[in-house]
């Protein structure tokens, strides 16, 4: 039976039921709950420090009105980072390689920012569709272009996250397959390929964290435009 490279991105099923819901729920179970003690463990203290630092970075471009979204944005970033990192483990499924999931996360949050802008400051929100000082003949064309760019934002968020993770997983699979195939015939080349595989894995760990951060950071920028 021929196995496709893209079979690893198929949602696993058990008794005909997709297990993507389990893959999305499992990361939350891995985080330890805060204790009632005066002093937490080193792991809890490190986890709290990372969350505080990430939250500070996320709130930098936001005004005070957007700080209400701090808990939602921080939770979303931790959720994405955890799923992306767990997906790098062998024989695991990465839900964030599914475009449907990423669009399901991006579209409602983007739509919420647009609705907030239309409700709080409709003139300013609609003003983004037409830059100041535009010549008269170009006004209809620019309005159409800006409207398309506005509605394409959630698609860009979802495709960016999906494409980066999918490309990384495919590269890891191709290089690991080549290293295994060359092990018997050319051990030196297989060792060099394995070294490249280790470096690529480290790069993918960084990509998994950066893409989750970029996803949430762009949402904060969209929110700042409408707050």
Summarize pLDDT for 157-182 with one digit per residue, the tens: 999 999 999 888 888 888 888 888 88
Tokens standing for residue 147: 């409207």
For residue 147, the model assigns a pLDDT of 86
For residue 47, the model assigns a pLDDT of 80
Q: Flag whether 210 is in a domain.
A: yes
Burial string for 20-59 (b: 16+ CB within 10 Å, else e) reads: beebeeebeeeeeeeeeeeeeeeebeebeeeeeebbeebb
How many domains does the structure of the chain reveal?
Answer: 1
Q: Flag whether 10 is in a domain.
A: no
For residue 2, the model assigns a pLDDT of 46
Nearby residues of 219 by Cβ (< 8 Å), 6 or more positions away? 73, 76, 106, 109, 110, 113, 157
Dihedral sign of CA atoms 60, 62, 68, 74 in order: negative
Nearby residues of 73 by Cβ (< 8 Å), 6 or more positions away? 58, 216, 219, 220
Q: Flag whether 7 is in a domain.
A: no
Q: Flag whether 2 is in a domain.
A: no
The model's pTM:
0.83
State the Cα–Cα distance between residues 208 and 81, nearest whole angstrom.
Answer: 6
For residue 53, the model assigns a pLDDT of 86
Q: Flag whether 63 is in a domain.
A: yes
Q: Flag whether 112 is in a domain.
A: yes
pLDDT tens, residue by residue, 77-114? 888 998 888 888 887 788 888 888 899 999 999 999 98
Positions of the chain with pLDDT under 50: 1-2
Q: Flag whether 123 is in a domain.
A: yes
For residue 45, the model assigns a pLDDT of 81
For residue 1, the model assigns a pLDDT of 39
Q: Flag whether 206 is in a domain.
A: yes
Nearby residues of 144 by Cβ (< 8 Å), 6 or more positions away? none
User: Which residue segment(s) compose the domain that 81 sits in?
Assistant: 18-30+42-226
């Amino acid at each position: 039976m021929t196995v496709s490279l893209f079979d690893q991105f198929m949602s696993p099923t058990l008794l005909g039921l997709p297990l993507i819901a389990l893959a999305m729920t499992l990361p939350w179970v891995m985080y330890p709950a805060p204790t009632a003690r005066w002093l937490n463990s080193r792991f809890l203290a490190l986890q709290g420090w990372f969350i505080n630092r990430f939250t500070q970075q996320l709130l930098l471009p936001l005004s005070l009105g957007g700080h209400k979204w701090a808990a939602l944005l921080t939770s979303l970033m931790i959720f994405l980072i955890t799923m992306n990192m767990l997906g790098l483990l062998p024989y695991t499924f990465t839900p964030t390689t599914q475009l449907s999931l990423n669009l399901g996360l991006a579209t409602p949050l983007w739509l919420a920012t647009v609705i907030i802008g239309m409700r709080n400051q409709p003139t300013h929100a609609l003003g983004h569709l037409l830059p100041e000082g535009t010549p008269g003949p170009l006004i209809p064309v620019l309005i159409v272009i800006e409207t398309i760019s506005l509605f394409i934002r959630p698609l860009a968020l979802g495709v960016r996250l999906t494409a980066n993770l999918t490309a990384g997983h495919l590269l890891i699979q191709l290089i690991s397959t080549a290293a295994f195939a060359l092990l018997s015939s050319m051990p030196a080349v297989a060792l060099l390929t394995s070294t490249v595989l280790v470096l690529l894995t480290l790069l993918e760990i960084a990509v998994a964290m950066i893409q989750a951060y970029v996803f949430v950071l762009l949402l904060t920028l969209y929110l700042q435009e409408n707050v």
